[in-house]
């Protein structure tokens, strides 16, 4: 496949616009088609990017556009259906997170990739921050010694989406943990080289969303047509490598006004590394704590955020891997591991006890 550029398409032009930027700036791919049911958004985006292939039906696009790779950026409940159809049509797939809304659907996607021989990649874009990659390198180097605990969180003060399908469990599969928790779970597993999860215990809540408090675009007390997902919660995970992991995720809470930050802390016998990203920024996001000659030392890495980041970097990296015949860095199997944890977390919260995964 290295002889020509990959012919790429994007289905769903909400978050799909970030995927499109990656294709447009990739030396290994050409964006040749886009698909969206909103015809106004479809035409505006296609005009802006000068893309000739414009579709409201992805089935028609698969038949007509002669594609190599497709980004699937539709509502969560459609990820499996559209991704499997794309692979069966001969396309590699980059699927937005979460990979699927259930373990069963995620397993069907992985099976389809094996059956068709196509690559199934999951869009974990936060791996493609320079500070995330530095954190993984320091952990993989062994400088933390024996890792024994991970603590990960994403806090928003006023962050409940007030539009679209975010409040619908049927369409989205869940709320804050599906939307935000999926990223920090993946980051923690990724930096530790994907230890298996053994048990999950979770406690979720839905206190703000049903009455439109701390919801974007709505006033408190407004009638909410549908909100049957979590807007926050906590979880405890036991990992096969002996590491304990704590999670705390919120769409809404009473805290510092306009707070929106995620934090990954990995503790080891020789050191601790923390990534704390506030408001999606890149300044002062890392700390490394250790001892030198018997004295406690705090190291503040000077990380240069140069070159593409996030979605653009992910798409460009995956396109380069596909074109060179290499294994892409994000896989369906990795996505499935996270869905196992999320499904168990929701089950644990509903049933009131810890869930064993093995």
CB-facing half-sphere around the CA of 251: CA atoms within 13 A: 30
Point out which residues pair with 203 in neighbouring strands.
234
Domain 6-123+311-330 matches domain 127-306 at the CATH topology level: no
The superfamily CATH assigns to domain 6-123+311-330 is NAD(P)-binding Rossmann-like Domain (3.40.50.720)
Section 216-244 average pLDDT: 90
Q: State residue 117's pLDDT score.
A: 97
At which residue do the structure tokens 């549908």 appear?
Answer: 226
Q: State residue 358's pLDDT score.
A: 85
Instruction: Please name the residue ranges forming H helices in 117-238.
Output: 130-140, 169-172, 176, 182-191
Per-residue pLDDT band for 221 (boundaries 50, 70, 90) equals confident
Check pLDDT > 70 for residue 174.
yes
Query: In this structure, are strands 29-35 and 53-55 parallel, antiparallel, or unpaired?
Result: parallel
At which residue do the structure tokens 């928003």 appear?
Answer: 156
Query: In this structure, are strands 197-205 and 232-239 parallel, antiparallel, or unpaired?
Result: antiparallel
Query: In this structure, are strands 286-292 and 272-278 parallel, antiparallel, or unpaired?
Result: antiparallel
Q: State residue 164's pLDDT score.
A: 74
Check pLDDT > 60 for residue 2.
no
Check pLDDT > 80 for residue 223.
no
Picking from 56-65, 96-105, 214-223, 312-321, which range would have the lowest pLDDT averaged per residue?
A: 214-223
Distance separating alpha carbons of residues 315 and 123, to the nearest angstrom: 8
77's tokens: 């409940």
Query: Domain spans of the chain?
Result: 6-123+311-330, 127-306
DSSP E strand stretches across the chain:
6-11, 29-35, 53-55, 69-72, 92-96, 120-123, 147-156, 197-205, 232-239, 244-250, 260-268, 272-278, 286-292, 295-299, 355-356
Section 83-96 average pLDDT: 98
CATH architecture assignment, domain 127-306: 2-Layer Sandwich (3.30)
Distance separating alpha carbons of residues 245 and 233, to the nearest angstrom: 14
Distance separating alpha carbons of residues 126 and 140, to the nearest angstrom: 18
């Amino acid at each position: 496949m290295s002889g020509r550029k990959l012919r790429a398409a994007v289905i769903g032009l909400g978050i799909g616009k970030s995927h499109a930027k990656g294709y447009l700036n990739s030396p290994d791919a050409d964006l040749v088609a886009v698909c969206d049911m909103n015809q106004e958004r479809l035409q505006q985006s296609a005009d802006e990017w000068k893309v000739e292939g414009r579709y409201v039906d992805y089935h028609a696009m698969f038949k007509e556009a002669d594609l190599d790779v497709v980004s699937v950026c539709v509502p969560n409940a459609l990820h499996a259906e559209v991704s499997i159809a794309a692979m069966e049509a001969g396309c590699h797939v980059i699927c937005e997170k979460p990979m699927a809304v259930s373990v069963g659907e995620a397993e069907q996607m992985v099976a389809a990739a094996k059956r068709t021989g196509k690559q199934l990649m999951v869009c974990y874009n936060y791996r493609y921050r320079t500070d995330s990659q530095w954190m993984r390198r320091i952990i993989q180097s062994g400088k933390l010694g024996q890792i024994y605990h991970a603590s990960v969180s994403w806090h928003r003060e006023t962050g409940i989406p007030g539009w679209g399908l975010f409040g619908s469990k049927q369409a989205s599969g869940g709320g804050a943990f599906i939307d935000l928790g999926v990223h920090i779970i993946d980051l923690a597993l990724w930096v530790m080289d994907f230890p298996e999860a053994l048990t999950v215990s979770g406690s979720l809540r839905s206190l703000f969303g049903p009455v439109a408090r701390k919801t974007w675009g709505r006033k408190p007390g407004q009638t909410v047509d549908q909100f049957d997902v979590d807007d926050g919660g906590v979880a405890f995970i036991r990992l096969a490598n002996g590491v304990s992991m704590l999670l705390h995720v919120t769409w809404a809470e009473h805290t510092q006004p306009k707070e929106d930050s995620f934090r990954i802390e990995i503790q080891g016998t020789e050191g601790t590394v923390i990534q704390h990203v506030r408001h999606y920024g890149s300044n002062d996001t890392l700390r490394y704590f250790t001892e030198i000659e018997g004295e406690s030392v705090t190291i503040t890495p000077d990380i240069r955020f140069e070159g593409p980041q996030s979605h653009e970097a992910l798409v460009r990296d995956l396109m380069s891997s596909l074109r060179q015949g290499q294994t892409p860095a994000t896989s369906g199997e990795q996505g499935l591991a996270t869905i196992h944890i999320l499904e168990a977390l929701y089950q644990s919260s509903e049933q009131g006890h810890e869930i064993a995964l093995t």
